[in-house]
Amino acid sequence: LVFLSIFLPAALIGCRLLPSVRMQNTLLLVMSLVFYAYGEPVYVLLMVASAAGNYLWARLITRFRSAGKGILALAVIQNLAVLCVFKYAGFLAETWNAVTGLHVPVPVISLPIGISFFTFQAMSYVFDVYREDTAAQRNFFRLLLYISFFPQLIAGPIVKYHDIDRELAEREMTSEGMAVGIRRFIAGLAKKVLIANTMGAVADALYAAPLAQINAPAAWLAAVSYMLQIYFDFSGYSDMAIGMGRMFGFHFKENFDYPYIADSMQDFWRRWHISLSTWFREYLYIPLGGNRKGKARTILNRLIVFACTGIWHGANLTFLFWGLYHGFFLLLEEVIPLFRRKGSPVLQALKHLCILLIVLVGFVFFRSDTIRQGFVMTGKLFTGWQFPADSMRLCLSQLTPLNLLAFALALPAATPCLKKLEGRAFWERLSWAATPVLLLLCMLFLAGGTYNPFIYFRF
C-alpha cells in the first residue's frame, strides 16, 4: 500500500516535473536504491558493488580487446562467486557434508532479494560488451540505474542492456504511454493480489498438511492451485514491471506468452519466463556449442542448461530435479515424432493435456520442500484414491466461495481468449472502466490481508 499510494506516485510526479532525462535518471536511481534499501538496507551496498565490478570489467574489455576472453572469464567468476556465497554457500556445505561424512560448518547467510535477477542482468551487459553487441557505458550511474531500476529489480524480467540503452539516454513520458502503463500495471497487480494470493493460500495449506492426510483430490487441488499461483504471481509481476516501465518511457519485452496453451515442451519454454530461457540460450547453450557439435554434445549441453535453470531458482535439490526433469522431457520430445508435427484437433488436444500434466508434475517438485515430499505428492495424484474423512475435510475446507471464484477467473485468464477481444470498442471501454475497480479491490485485499511476497523475490 505504501508503494501504491506514496512511492510510485511520487516517482511519476517527480519525473513528469523534471525537464531533462538526465535529471529524471538521477531521481529514478535514488528512488531505486531507496526502494531496495527499504527491504535490504545492507545488501544495497552489495548490489552497487556488483554493478561497479561489472562496469569496470566492461571498460577493461573495451580497453584491452586482445585479452577480452580472459577479462570476461574473470567477470563471470566474480558474478558466480557472489551467487555462490550469498545463495548457495549453505547448500554446498550441506551437500559436501552429506557426500563426505565430514562436518563442515554450514554458513547461515540471508538471501539478498532478487540477487539472481540483478546478477544475471549485469552479466548479460558484460557479455554483450565482449561480443560487441553494445558499447561499454562510460557513465557508471547510468549503468547502475539499468541494474537497479526498481520496476524489474527484484523479480525480473531480465532486461538486456542494449534493449534500453537508447532509452536510458533519450526517452519521453507521454500521456498515452502513461495510460497504457497504468492499465498494464493494474492488470498485473490484480493477477497477483486477486488470483495468485488466493491460489497460494490453498497451496500453502495443502502442502503444509501431513502427507498421510493427503489423498488424490487434495493432491490435485494442491498441484493445480500452485500451478496457477506461480503463473499469475510471476506473470503478474512481469506485467507490473512492463507497465511501470512504460509509465516512465521504457519499453520492456514480454516475459510470458500464455505458456499453459503450449502443445510441446519446446513451445512451453518459448512462452514461460522468456527472459530467463533466452538468457541461458544466448549466454550458456550457444557458447557451449549448442547443437553444432554432434548429438551427444547437444544432449549434454541441454542437460547442463536445464540443470543451471533449475538451480538458478534456489539452493535445493528440488529445483535441480525440476530443471533436469524439464530437460529430460525436452530431449524425449525429439525422439517422439508425435510432438514434432501438427495433427487433428483431437490429437492437438491430447498433446496439450499431456504437456499440462508434465508441467504440473514438475511444479509439484518445484513447490515441495524435499524430493521425498515431491515423490509422495506425485504418487498421491495417481494412487491416492481413498477418501478418509480427515482428507476430505482438508480438501473441502479449501473450496470456499472466494477460492472457487478465483479458480473461475484464473482458468480463462491463463489463456488468450480475453486477448482476442482487444481492439473491439466495447471491450476497450469495459477494460478501461474496470481498471479503477480492480485497483480498488486490490487495495482492499492488501489492506485486509497478510503479507504475501512474490514467489520470485527469493530468486
Residues that are catalytic: 313
DSSP category for residue 4: I
Q: What is the helix, strand, coil percentage profile of the chain, to 5?
A: 75, 0, 25
Residue 184 is placed in which grid cell? 498494464
Angle between helices 425-448 and 175-190 (to 10 degrees): 60
Query: How far is C-alpha 151 from the chain's CA centre?
Result: 13
How far apart, in whole angstroms, are the C-alpha atoms of residue 450 and residue 197?
10
How far apart, in whole angstroms, are the C-alpha atoms of residue 33 and residue 44?
7
Residue 19 is placed in which grid cell? 525537464
How far apart, in whole angstroms, are the C-alpha atoms of residue 317 and residue 146?
32
Residue 195 is placed in which grid cell? 488470483
End-to-end Cα separation, the chain, in angstroms:
23
Q: Which amino acid makes up residue 183?
A: R
Residues near 241 by Cβ (< 8 Å), separated by ≥ 6?
A: 151, 152, 155, 156, 157, 188, 252
Residue 51 is placed in which grid cell? 554493478
Residues 157, 158, 163, 169: what is their CA dihedral angle, to the nearest 10 degrees?
90
Residues 224, 230, 233: CA angle, nearest 5 degrees: 130
DSSP string, 218-247: HHHHHHHHHHHHHHHHHHHHHHHHHHHHHH
Residues near 71 by Cβ (< 8 Å), separated by ≥ 6?
A: 57, 60, 61, 64, 130
Q: Which amino acid makes up residue 440?
A: L
* Closest by Cα among 228, 227, 221 to 205: 221
Could you tell me the sign of the dihedral formed by the alpha carbons of 169, 139, 29, 439, in that order? positive
Residues 385, 391, 397: CA angle, nearest 5 degrees: 125
How far apart, in whole angstroms, are the C-alpha atoms of residue 156 and residue 226?
20
